[in-house]
Structure 1
Amino acid sequence: MCWDIYALLTYQPELKLMTKYTITNANLDEFKSIGDLMVRVYSALEGFPKPEEQPTYYQMLRNVGSLTETPSTELFVAKDEQKEILGAVVFFGDMKDYGSGGTAVQEKGACGFRLLAVAPAARGLGIGKALSIACIERTKLLGKKTVVIHSTEAMKVAWGMYERLGFKRELDLDFTQQDLPVYGFRLKLN
């Protein structure tokens, strides 16, 4: 699966540059860089637990590529024309592999995505939205009717994007991860 996408560089508007990025399944040789990106992004979130507070979570982020050892799990990566990693997300084609707390793993006819991260220098280019849409499209290709995601208060800026894509807050998907409230969202596909 591959998508080519153009975006206006909003962090250098005076240059009016267009950048092209591609979303594909990550290669094994990209796993470490993606894990490093995820650790950098999540540890910098204000109000989000730091590595010393949730070492197991950060170990999972660091080794995010290992999640793809499950056949239904894919790691999507957004790269620019120079092959620089701009963002990534983990897609779960089977909710039993989703790995969250709460009831999400019991969802039938659903896929999910977690661990969406965008490089700080690439924010504002639509990378997060494009990665989310890639997951939605993959769900449709698999013939599933629902997409499940989770977020936290520290990631609230992304909530608006998810809602514009059609996701609705779903209290039955909420759970707590080591004193951190985690909020569920569901998107019903036609």
Structure 2
Amino acid sequence: MTGLELRRIHRPETSAAGDVCVAAYGPFLARAGDDYRRRLHDVATRDEQAEVWVALDGDQVLGNVTYCPLGSRWREIARDDEGEFRMLAVAPAAQGRGVGTALARLCEDRAREDGATSMVLSSLAVMSAAHRVYERRGYARDPGRDWSPRPGVDLLAFTKPL
């Protein structure tokens, strides 16, 4: 994708990035409740406790992702030698343009910088478009690490050697 800038988020962009997260996850939030919507929108807190990276076209936030370095409270299933990212979100109007792939690649590069030997992530079973992005990037399902943060929310685990 031409014209795409990837970088750490700047504080004034956190609300727009939160809007992108809520819009991207919107079709999957019917049972999530307002608490999860607020958590998705609270990009500023995630960036304080992990690393939020954005994909921009000019000043427009097209997508964002939370990279969870070792020690971050946002890590869910990663072991010490693994990288993990969460809440990869692409604005609905920008989906299918390579934004998600670029953000996933960025997280893989960050994990390598941190000395990780593999990358892990969790995804809702219904997020088939995201699964296709992960599979194209070389991720494979790891059913032994599937988990549920709460009843009725089943997450699939994916792993990739780096």
TM-score (norm 1): 0.78
Are 1:54 and 2:29 counterparts?
no
1:101-116 matches, within 5 Å, as 104-105=77-78, 107-116=79-88
The one-letter code sitting in structure 1 at the alignment partner of 2:63 is G
Q: Give 1:125 deviation, angstroms.
A: 1.2
The one-letter code sitting in structure 1 at the alignment partner of 2:17 is I
Gaps of 5+ in 1: 1-6, 8-18
Work out whether residues 90 and 100 of structure 2, in 8 Å CA contact, stay in contact via their aligned partners in 1. Answer: yes
- C-alpha distance in 2 between matches for 1:123 and 1:180: 24
1:90-129 matches, within 5 Å, as 90-94=66-70, 97-100=73-76, 104-105=77-78, 107-129=79-101
- C-alpha distance in 2 between matches for 1:94 and 1:68: 14
Gaps of 5+ in 2: none
Q: Give 1:143 deviation, angstroms.
A: 1.3
Are 1:144 and 2:124 counterparts?
no
Work out whether residues 23 and 76 of structure 1, in 8 Å CA contact, stay in contact via their aligned partners in 2. Answer: yes
- Percent identity, aligned pairs only, is 29
Deviates more, 1:116-125 or 1:89-98: 89-98
1:36-55 matches, within 5 Å, as 36-43=19-26, 45=27, 48-50=28-30, 53-55=32-34
Work out whether residues 95 and 110 of structure 1, in 8 Å CA contact, stay in contact via their aligned partners in 2. Answer: no
TM-score (norm 2): 0.91
RMSD: 1.7
Number of corresponding residues: 161
Q: Which of structure 1's runs of 4+ aligned residues deviate more than 6 A? A: none
